[in-house]
A = this chain, B = another copy of it.
Amino acid sequence: MAAVKLIGSPISPFVLRTMIALSLKKVEYELLPEKLGEKSELLLKSNPVYKKIPVLIHHDRPICESAVIVEYIDQVWPESGYGAILPADAYHRALHRFWTFYVDDKLFPSLVAIGKAETEEAKAEAVEQFRAGLRLLEEAFVKLSEGKAFFGGDQVGFLDVMLGCFVVWIEAMEEVLSLELLEEATMPALHGWVVSFRAHEAVKEVMPESGKVVEFFKMIRAMRMKAAADAAN
């Protein structure tokens, strides 16, 4: 039996975070995917409070919540693979955690709102909110990266992982909805960051294929539209 297991699959950006972290640390693990719309016995037992993926199981003990899991991985395997994920400096660490909080609290909900918008007006509003959030992260990137490739400087750091998990979803939504979310003109630094992030060995290994994310996004959109149409009849 593997000492490290992960419940979930990389199509979930929250699971992807933990997969990138494990990949950065070169930790071997067994991936236990959940079926869409179902919850396994193991998931219900391992995360009885939220019943959500990802759950990391290490020596039979479950750890839940993606940010908590990534911090755990960084502490348990501090020196392995590409090294530390959290910056060593307390102030930089605080900034990475603050912006991660912002990503989960504001940025991700506005990304979801774009996908769920039922009118052009609602979509335009959600897009503007999302772009405003990214512009804040553009500033944060300039400050934190100090001219280097990542939020973590020369290496992929905590905020790179916590924001980077959405890159392939942002691109899929741009394609399906014919939008430009990560505008090159107003966010040149983040644009460069996406290229560096995607090119990183540890990220490439686990990032889901764009085509699969596009298909998945189309499928959940179709399901939502059908549910709305059924409700209206």
Contact = CB atoms under 8 A, between A and B. Distances in A.
Nearest to A75: B90
A112 interface: no
Interface residues of A, number: 22
A136 interface: yes
A65, A94, A97 — most chain B CB neighbours (10 Å): A94
A76 B90 contact: yes
A91 B63 contact: yes
A188 to B, nearest CB: 21
Interface in A44-92: 49, 58, 61, 63-65, 67-69, 71-72, 75-76, 90-91
Copies of this chain: 2
Contact of A94 (B68, B94, B101): B68
Contacts of A67: 97, 101
B61 A101 contact: no
Nearest to A63: B94
Nearest to A47: B98
A93 interface: yes
Contacts of A93: 71-72, 75
